[in-house]
Structure 1
Amino acid sequence: MILGWIALEIGETADGEPNGLTVALSTIGGSFVSLLKAAVPPLVFTAIVASIANLRGVSNAARLAGQTLLWFAITALIAVSIGIGLGLLFEPGANAAVSADDAAAPSGTGSWLGFLEGLIPANVLGIEASASTETGDNGALVGVETSIGFNVLQIIVVALAFGVAALKAGKKAEPFLAFNASLLSVIQTVLWWIIRLAPIGTMGLIGRAIASYGWDSLTSLGWFAGAVYVGLALVLFVVYPILLRAHGLNPISYFRGAWPAIQLAFVSRSSMGTLPVTERVTYRNLGVPRSYASFAVPLGSTTKMDGCAAIYPALAAIFVAQFFGLDLAVTDYLLIVLVSVLGSAATAGTTGATVMLTLTLSTLGLPLEGVGLLLAVDPIVDMGRTAVNVAGQALVPTIVAKREKILDVEQYDSANAENLFTEEGHDDAASAPPVEEQVGEPVAART
């Protein structure tokens, strides 16, 4: 925070470029998130295949998956209801000081068809490539920039198919499963090295946030940003603790164990970049069996977005409607709920929630130009949105594991952030008993 404040005081260079300290902080923070993201595709694939191999019974896997999706929907329903209520209470669109000249449609929009098409893997690795061209003043081609990305939802689909196929193949697939388990151990070791850099990476991310984000923009959109953060706080510090208490779990232990992931999500603004840490805190700190956590957390990183896909689009849609003087009927509010509960996978764990917002606005028939009004404070509200996303991605597996009696309650009660940085050892996925042997049997009895 001190380094970020110093960089902010130094300001830009004479050429209007960021100063050296800001560049250094951005490079450190961005490099750390990039390292985490690089580990996501192989980690998700090998962990899900290994978890299916450990599940052994498709019926148990289907039940756990069903319970997980059900609680994703329940928490999203609560979150979007809070967002709608705060939108009507704060009236952010009526109290905004932004100009209609700031309205601008986004370059890309979300759609239900695009989401469904995104479920179909383009290749076995779920890798996506895009190219953009740059032309000069005379129209001549100056260069072509190619970027490579990945679609975690597609990786999950491919991994599920490989895992189930390996079970169906029986003994012939044992060498494949053994190789996958070995590769998973190697990936987890490399990931452990990356996570050890978390203090340095977090320093860069926090410093960059203070030095770069436009806090002055809050003056014109203060009511909207305030409503978003009130909603996020209600979900994170009221709704989640109530759900934990209802299942006999201590909320303090949850926050103590999940805090490293929540903190990293806040400063990185990326659920996907935080995914490796989220998965680790879920099984290591919160006591969720790794065979289940390695399936539920990656799934949650694409479909569990209480911040980006529930509270934010609800408030943003109400903001746009109020700003343009459009009245929303009861059916419109029901559509907001429907989109938030069913369409959160469209956010795909990326930084920002423009896809989900445009999906909501287009479903309601509201002007997409309203997205441009909110861009000024998007980095600020995105920090809180992402933190709540990740908190929910660790919460639901914990609740489901407790309901299915496979949660290690003793490990959960003793959760602390330091457990994240201890050596790998007994918790290797390959050594965990199949979940079919755990369901319905208390941990104490197994011990």
Structure 2
Amino acid sequence: MSRTSTAKIPGAEARARKGLRFPSFSVQILLGLALGVLLGWAALAIGPQADGETPNGLTTTLDTIGSSFVTLLRAIVPPLIFTAIVASIANLRTVTNAARLAGQTLLWFAITAAISVAIGIGLGLVFQPGHNTTLTTAEAAEPSSTGTWLDFLNGLIPTNVLGLGASTDVEAAADGTFTADTGISFNVLQILVVALVIGIAALKSGAKADPFLAFNRSALAIVQKVLWWIIRLAPLGTMGLIGNAVATYGWESLRSLASFSLAIYVGLALVLFVVYPVLLRANGLGVVSWFRGAWPAIQLAFVSRSSIGTLPVTQRVTERNLGVPSEYASFAVPLAATTKMDGCASIYPAISAIFVAQIFGIDLSITDYLLIAFVSVVGSAATAGLTGAMVMLTLTLSTLGLPLAGVGLLLAVDPILDMGRTAVNVAGQTLVPTIVAKREGLLDLEQYRAASAEDLFDDEADAEQTAADAPAAQDDAAQDDAAQGERELAEATTRA
């Protein structure tokens, strides 16, 4: 007996003690956040290099770490969306069901957007941000690009089968020469369309498409494994992103736009901590479970300021933590990432339009407020595939006939506001699929109630633990067999 129990110590118990050396993933994220803030303050205290413009080495390092992590996440987006959507269509086996789920999803996009824009308009009237600022119209500047109602059609039709395109940034030097930086960009909406068409075509092709669908399932498994590796770097990425934000932006720029910034963040907080919980409770879902499950994506969105960069994590928490079936989540979450933006498309443009009207001395009528609501609800679909709150803001201002030069007044605080906007965007992108799945009877309620940040790694962790346990289990089994043999031999000797 003592031999057997001693033999088991190097196995499961020893591994349990070893596992205690590392904090949980949630704690790692919080540690990364805290360390990033400290390093950001240190970089801010050091200041720029001697020329007064070049960032110091610590700021550059933080920027490199954070941007590299977001780049890795963005790199996995195209193959993840394509393979996941093709697989989901193959699993649904019916276009009708997919169409119904898509309709319900878009309906809830509109419902939450309408509530959010109403809050934005109300706060704009209460805070009067255009009247409570030290800025003047002399500081206004035209935006470099604007959003239009044709952006949806322009972005919907794929330029190629992969939904990829080339982007070139040209800069003019002081000596008259030009430099060009060419890269590859992608449009999530176009990839979504391509994947839907190919998935439906595969279904219509019958048995001939089985090898392709089998290959797609294998590719999806590989992409998800790579995604898991990238997500494991989230604590390090969080440190770099928040550290660079603190070092680069500080809070000095908020002084002249304090009322405007406060109105934005109050609106974002009301949507995230009041509206969403009310909708969850109205649909019979626990609020704490949702926050616990969705928080890794919300937190990453806040520090990264990128809904597209956060998309892989958003989709993963929606499936693994919140219990939304992958067949539906793989379609709904990418669609939400392009059209579901309660922060950027509802709260922000509503308050910003009121700010611009007030600072230019333009009185808005009831019709104008209705137009703001209309643009917020429908405009996010019209600009689907285009990123940035400025697209929605310029679309709103141009629709109302307000001066586009007012956009230049808000650029100083945009990065700070963008953190909160993106967090609310991503929160809504997990909320709507969860509500729709619950209403359609698809949600795994047991998984939803048990949601935690650690559920992101359940499958992989279980597989790795099983592989790690196999040798120890074999050793334990061998020890048990030996002990059993000794007992049987002793009994046989006694009988003899």
Q: How many pairs align?
A: 426
1:351 Cα deviation from its structure 2 partner = 5.6
Q: What residue number does 1:130 align with? A: 167
- Gap change, CA 1:138 and 1:32, over 3 Å in 2: closer
Counterpart of 2:40 in 1: which secondary structure?
helix
Counterpart of 1:122 in 2: which secondary structure?
coil
Structure 2 distance, partners of 1:137, 1:20, is 26
Deviates more, 1:186-195 or 1:143-152: 143-152
Are positions 1:6 and 2:54 aligned together?
no
1:128 Cα deviation from its structure 2 partner = 1.8
1:59 Cα deviation from its structure 2 partner = 1.1
1:403 Cα deviation from its structure 2 partner = 0.2
Q: What residue number does 2:260 align with? A: 224
Supply the AA of the counterpart residue of 2:39: L
Structure 2 distance, partners of 1:425, 1:157, is 33
Q: What residue number does 1:432 align with? A: none
Are positions 1:152 and 2:185 aligned together?
no
Are positions 1:397 and 2:397 aligned together?
no
Structure 1 distance, partners of 2:197, 2:81, is 13
Q: What residue number does 1:294 align with? A: 330
1:170 Cα deviation from its structure 2 partner = 1.1
Are positions 1:419 and 2:455 aligned together?
yes
2:149–2:383 Cα contact (<8 Å) kept: no
1:278–1:394 Cα contact (<8 Å) kept: yes
Structure 2 distance, partners of 1:51, 1:233, is 34
Counterpart of 2:99 in 1: which secondary structure?
helix
Supply the AA of the counterpart residue of 1:93: G
Structure 2 distance, partners of 1:136, 1:274, is 35
Are positions 1:80 and 2:78 aligned together?
no
Are positions 1:330 and 2:366 aligned together?
yes
Counterpart of 2:278 in 1: which secondary structure?
helix
Counterpart of 1:227 in 2: which secondary structure?
helix
1:269–1:351 Cα contact (<8 Å) kept: no
2:89–2:327 Cα contact (<8 Å) kept: yes
Q: What residue number does 2:6 align with? A: none
Structure 2 distance, partners of 1:35, 1:104, is 34
Q: What residue number does 2:157 align with? A: 120
Q: What residue number does 1:321 align with? A: 357
1:4–1:209 Cα contact (<8 Å) kept: yes
- Gap change, CA 1:170 and 1:379, over 3 Å in 2: same
- Gap change, CA 1:407 and 1:131, over 3 Å in 2: same
Are positions 1:32 and 2:69 aligned together?
yes
1:144 Cα deviation from its structure 2 partner = 1.9
Query: Tell me, which stretches of 5 or more residues in structure 2 are unaligned?
Result: 1-36, 464-496
Cα deviation code 1:229-286 (max 9, x no counterpart): 0000000000000000011111000000000000000000000000000000001000
Describe how 1:297-316 pairs up with structure 2 within 5 A: 297-316=333-352
Aligned with 2:282 (options 237, 243, 246): 246
Structure 2 distance, partners of 1:301, 1:160, is 16
Q: What residue number does 1:437 align with? A: none
Structure 1 distance, partners of 2:302, 2:46, is 25
Aligned-pair identity (%): 73
Counterpart of 2:51 in 1: which secondary structure?
coil
1:130 Cα deviation from its structure 2 partner = 2.2
Counterpart of 2:159 in 1: which secondary structure?
coil
Supply the AA of the counterpart residue of 2:301: A
Cα deviation code 1:105-164 (max 9, x no counterpart): 11111101122211111111111212233344453x342221321100111111111111
Q: Which has the higher Rg, Structure 1 or Structure 2? A: 2
Q: C-alpha root-mean-square deviation of aligned residues, in Å?
A: 1.5
Counterpart of 1:422 in 2: which secondary structure?
helix
